[in-house]
């Protein structure tokens, strides 16, 4: 077996904060390769999910292969593997980086380095990638390259003396960028004649083709007609098609070692091609698989319930399909007295949760109620058992609880000096304790330990408003820690609504209870009768609000010609009700189940 350098291939990704211009740069690169017409370039092509384009973020890894003829006269295949920029998706980032030898660290020349880029950059360095810093938006008047170069050196510790300065918008510096990319990034290593080893970086379901796998071939060759095996399951498939994305799906005769491309092999079942798995030829019974990825643990849990019970099976199927290329997503069946049958889902963070919910609603046409997210708690029972509680409703009775432990995270925050006071106050409000404070240029790097439940609530939004959007933030799980926690129940006309229960710090129970009952009062529409909303800890009522009865619901006028329009009005009212959940006699809108999240905002 002869491992060698595959000189004319470069595999790389771009690490960038949201808005720092990654998509624009990707567009320029695609344009330069001439793979798409001007018209096809009309939109940024890489963020292909509607949701991604709307939010201007990348959720899923995608790849593009470009041909580039360098100054040495040789044509290189550049494989760009996209990485998500948000902290929730750090797992996806490490997956994308695994398939690369190099990474461009793209930094906005006026905004400077952000905490998420720092974290992703460390991941790249840890994985042995060559990192090349690049300043973007150099054409802006507000660009301050010297300051940002200093930041890159101080915060990240990269030598930025020869930093590339580009404008992805105007194309300035693009040639130098492509040349440096070819010169600085090492070519992939691999044995094209060895037994096949291809890593599944991502996979998704296409209605016509079945499962499409995005792979990085490490050794060997894969081509249509061959029998391949998915290592973990041992199942065998015949390859129908291989190819690359230019970004158009373009079929090739084979994919050889070092390359990144797709494999379609008639895989129909949803779990047929798990991300992180290794593809080999069917004849290779003893090949040692590639290391794959570490399994990430979801940290945030929420109930996802179809509004109408008939959608339950569709919901299960949709979750299964999403899980296929989102291995971080967890789900297990859950039953709520208030909301019926649904699923307890585990997410990486809040954005991940929102994205999953939106995809379920948009791509699968489901009408859902999502409960407020909660973190995982550890409960030590009086029988000395340790339980992992994903749902406040599953908390054992008070008498059986010896202690409750909550997850603590370490938050890394970068903030300009003028907002330091606001941010410190916010961290203290959120029960944080300061671990370090360092001046880095004119920014401050803060480290805080704080309960994860506080971060889940609304920390990110409030950090943004406390710093006018300038602070950036990253976090990682540290440990479980004993805390004085209680379960806060919400009763609607005397009936507890399990889906509205939360676990809160004892000292905050009263305040949260009051905020929550007030918030629910403003969300739940008036009904034909008075509705009492109470907050309780155990059997003790700690707060109450009252929704007054609606006086009437009548259309004032209805004559001969009006009937069609008035009928539409009735239908609209009924459709409005359909989006609500009937709990006992009371109709509760979906937002109510997220009210826990909004209490703080409502009071700011």
Partner 1 sequence: MFRFTASPPLALYVHLPWCVRKCPYCDFNSHALRGELPATAYVDALLADVLREIKHIHEREISSVFFGGGTPSLFPPAALARLLEGLQRYLRIAADCEITLEANPGSVDQARFEDFRSAGVNRLSIGVQSFQADSLHRLGRIHGPQAAVAAVETAHAAGFDNFNIDLMYGLPNQGRPAAVADITQAIALAPPHISHYQLTLEPNTAFAARPPALPEDDAIYAMQIDCQTRLAGAGYQHYEVSAYALRDRRCRHNLNYWSFGDYLGIGAGAHGKVTDLDKGKITRYEKLARPMAYIREATAGEAVAKSHQLSAQDAVLEFMMNALRLPEGVPRKLCTARTGLPWVCFEAAVDDARNRGWLDITADDRVRPTALGMRFLNNLLGCFLPPD
Out of 73, 383, 561, 604, the only residue in the binding site for partner 1 (CB under 8 A) is 561
| Cα torsion angle, 206, 211, 217, 222, sign | negative
- Closest by alpha carbon to 120, among 137, 145, 140, 100? 100
Confirm whether residue 19 is marked as ligand binding: yes
- Peptide bond just before 212 cis, omega within 30 deg: no
Any contact of residue 2 with partner 1 (CB under 8 A)? no
What is the smallest separation between the CB atom of 578 and partner 1, expressed in angstroms? 7
What is the smallest separation between the CB atom of 368 and partner 1, expressed in angstroms? 16
- Closest by alpha carbon to 35, among 84, 77, 93? 77
Is the distance from CB of 64 to CB of 246 less than 8 angstroms?
yes
Looking at the Cβ atoms of 479 and 566, the one nearer to partner 1 is 566
Looking at the Cβ atoms of 157 and 576, the one nearer to partner 1 is 576
CB atoms within 10 A of CB 153: 17
Out of 126, 548, 582, 602, the only residue in the binding site for partner 1 (CB under 8 A) is 548
Any contact of residue 579 with partner 1 (CB under 8 A)? no
User: How many whole angstroms separate alpha carbon 49 and alpha carbon 47?
Assistant: 6
Residues in the chain: 604
User: How many whole angstroms separate alpha carbon 494 and alpha carbon 173?
Assistant: 67
Any contact of residue 578 with partner 1 (CB under 8 A)? yes
Is the distance from CB of 299 to CB of 477 less than 8 angstroms?
yes
User: How many whole angstroms separate alpha carbon 496 and alpha carbon 588?
Assistant: 13
CA angle 20, 95, 180 (to 5 degrees): 50
Out of 142, 436, 539, 564, the only residue in the binding site for partner 1 (CB under 8 A) is 564
Any contact of residue 437 with partner 1 (CB under 8 A)? no
Q: Using CB under 8 A, which of the segments 139-147, 230-238, 398-406, 574-582 binds partner 1?
A: 574-582
What is the smallest separation between the CB atom of 594 and partner 1, expressed in angstroms? 24
Out of 567, 601, 602, 603, the only residue in the binding site for partner 1 (CB under 8 A) is 567
For residue 184, what is the enclosing H or E element? helix 174-184
Confirm whether residue 472 is marked as ligand binding: no
What is the smallest separation between the CB atom of 307 and partner 1, expressed in angstroms? 11
Looking at the Cβ atoms of 284 and 527, the one nearer to partner 1 is 527
Name residues contacting partner 1, limited to 474-533 (CB under 8 A): 526, 528
Beta strands in 270-376 (DSSP E): 278-281, 300-306, 330-336, 340-347, 368-370, 374-375
What is the smallest separation between the CB atom of 231 and partner 1, expressed in angstroms? 47
What is the smallest separation between the CB atom of 54 and partner 1, expressed in angstroms? 28
Out of 570, 582, 601, 603, the only residue in the binding site for partner 1 (CB under 8 A) is 570
Q: Using CB under 8 A, which of the segments 206-214, 227-235, 251-259, 569-577 binds partner 1?
A: 569-577
Any contact of residue 573 with partner 1 (CB under 8 A)? yes
483 φ, ψ (degrees, to nearest 5): -145, 160
Distance of CA 364 to the CA centre of its chain: 19
Out of 268, 397, 553, 604, the only residue in the binding site for partner 1 (CB under 8 A) is 553
Out of 54, 428, 507, 571, the only residue in the binding site for partner 1 (CB under 8 A) is 571
CB atoms within 10 A of CB 181: 23
User: How many whole angstroms separate alpha carbon 580 and alpha carbon 591?
Assistant: 9
Which own/partner contact pairs does 327-335 have at CB distance under 8 Å and 24+ positions apart? 327/274, 327/275, 327/276, 327/293, 327/295, 327/296, 328/91, 328/92, 328/296, 328/298, 328/352, 329/298, 329/356, 330/298, 331/304, 334/303, 334/391
Q: What is the torsion angle, in degrees rounded to the nearest 10, for the CA atoms of residue 312, residue 317, residue 319 and residue 320?
A: 150
Any contact of residue 309 with partner 1 (CB under 8 A)? no
Name residues contacting partner 1, limited to 150-169 (CB under 8 A): none
Any contact of residue 250 with partner 1 (CB under 8 A)? no
Beta strands in 466-579 (DSSP E): 472-483, 485-492, 495-496, 502-505, 531-537, 540-547
Q: Using CB under 8 A, which of the segments 242-250, 294-302, 349-357, 570-578 binds partner 1?
A: 570-578
Confirm whether residue 138 is marked as ligand binding: yes
Site string for partner 1, 229-248 (x = CB under 8 A): --------------------
349 φ, ψ (degrees, to nearest 5): -175, -170
Confirm whether residue 170 is marked as ligand binding: no
What is the smallest separation between the CB atom of 312 and partner 1, expressed in angstroms? 16
Q: Using CB under 8 A, which of the segments 209-217, 266-274, 318-326, 546-554 binds partner 1?
A: 546-554
Any contact of residue 550 with partner 1 (CB under 8 A)? yes
Any contact of residue 555 with partner 1 (CB under 8 A)? yes
User: How many whole angstroms separate alpha carbon 192 and alpha carbon 517?
Assistant: 65
Out of 288, 437, 482, 558, the only residue in the binding site for partner 1 (CB under 8 A) is 558
User: How many whole angstroms separate alpha carbon 10 and alpha carbon 66?
Assistant: 10
What is the smallest separation between the CB atom of 551 and partner 1, expressed in angstroms? 4
Binding residues: 19-24, 136-139
Footprint of partner 1 (CB under 8 A):
308, 526, 528, 548, 550-561, 563-564, 566-567, 569-571, 573-574, 577-578
Binding residues for GTP: 19-24, 136-139
């Amino acid at each position: 077996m002869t491992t060698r350098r595959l000189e004319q291939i470069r595999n790389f990704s771009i690490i960038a904060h949201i808005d720092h211009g990654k998509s624009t740069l990707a567009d320029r690169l695609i344009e330069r390769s001439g793979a798409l017409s001007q018209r096809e370039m009309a939109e940024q092509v890489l963020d292909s999910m509607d949701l991604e384009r709307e939010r201007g973020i990348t959720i899923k890894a995608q790849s593009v292969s470009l041909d580039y003829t360098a100054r040495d006269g040789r044509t290189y295949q550049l494989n760009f593997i996209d990485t998500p920029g948000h902290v929730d998706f750090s797992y996806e980032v490490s997956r994308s980086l695994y398939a690369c030898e190099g990474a461009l660290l793209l930094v906005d020349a006026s905004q400077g380095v952000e905490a998420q880029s720092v974290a992703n950059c460390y991941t790249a360095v840890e994985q042995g990638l060559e990192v090349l810093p690049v300043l973007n938006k150099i054409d802006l008047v507000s660009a301050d390259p010297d300051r940002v170069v200093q930041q890159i050196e101080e915060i990240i510790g990269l030598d930025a003396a020869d930093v590339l300065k580009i404008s992805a918008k105007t194309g300035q510096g693009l040639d130098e960028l492509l040349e440096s990319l070819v010169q600085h990034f090492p070519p992939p290593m691999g044995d094209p004649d060895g037994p096949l080893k291809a890593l599944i970086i991502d996979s998704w379901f296409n209605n016509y083709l079945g499962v499409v796998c995005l792979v990085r071939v490490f050794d060997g060759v894969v081509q249509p007609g061959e029998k391949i095996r998915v290592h973990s399951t041992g199942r065998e498939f015949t390859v129908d098609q291989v190819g690359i994305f230019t970004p158009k799906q373009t079929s090739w005769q084979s994919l050889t070692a070092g390359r990144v491309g797709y494999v379609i092999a008639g895989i129909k079942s949803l779990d047929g091609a798990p991300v992180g798995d290794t593809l080999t030829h069917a004849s290779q019974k003893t090949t040692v698989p590639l290391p794959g990825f570490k399994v990430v643990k979801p940290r945030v849990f929420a109930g996802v319930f179809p509004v109408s019970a008939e959608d339950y099976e569709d919901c299960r199927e949709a979750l299964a399909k999403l899980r296929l290329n989102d291995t971080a997503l967890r789900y297990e069946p859950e039953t709520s007295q208030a909301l019926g049958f649904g699923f307890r889902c585990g997410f990486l963070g809040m954005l991940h949760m929102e994205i999953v919910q939106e995809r379920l609603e948009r791509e699968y046409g489901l009408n859902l109620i999502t409960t407020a997210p909660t973190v995982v708690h550890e409960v030590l029972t009086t029988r000395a058992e340790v339980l992992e509680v994903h749902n406040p409703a599953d908390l054992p009775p008070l008498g059986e609880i010896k202690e409750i432990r909550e997850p603590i995270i370490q938050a890394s925050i970068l903030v300009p000096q003028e907002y330091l006071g606001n941010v410190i106050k916010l961290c203290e409000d959120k029960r944080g304790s300061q671990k370090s404070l360092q001046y880095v240029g004119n920014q401050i790097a803060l480290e805080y330990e704080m309960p994860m439940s506080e971060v889940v609530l609304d920390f990110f939004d409030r950090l943004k408003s406390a710093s006018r959007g300038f602070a950036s933030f990253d976090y990682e799980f540290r440990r479980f820690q004993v805390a004085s926690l209680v379960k806060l129940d919400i009763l609607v006309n005397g009936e507890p609504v399990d889906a509205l229960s939360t676990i809160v710090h004892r000292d905050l129970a009263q305040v949260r209870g009051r905020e929550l009952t007030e918030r629910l009062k403003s969300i739940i529409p008036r009904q034909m009768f008075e509705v009492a909303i109470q907050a309780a800890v155990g059997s003790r009522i700690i707060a109450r609000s009252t929704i007054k009865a609606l006086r009437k619901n009548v259309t004032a006028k209805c004559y001969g010609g009006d009937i069609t329009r008035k009928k539409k009005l009735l239908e609209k009212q009924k459709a409005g009700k359909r989006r609500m959940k009937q709990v006992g006699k009371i109709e509760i809108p979906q937002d109510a189940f997220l009210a826990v999240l909004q209490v703080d905002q409502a009071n700011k």
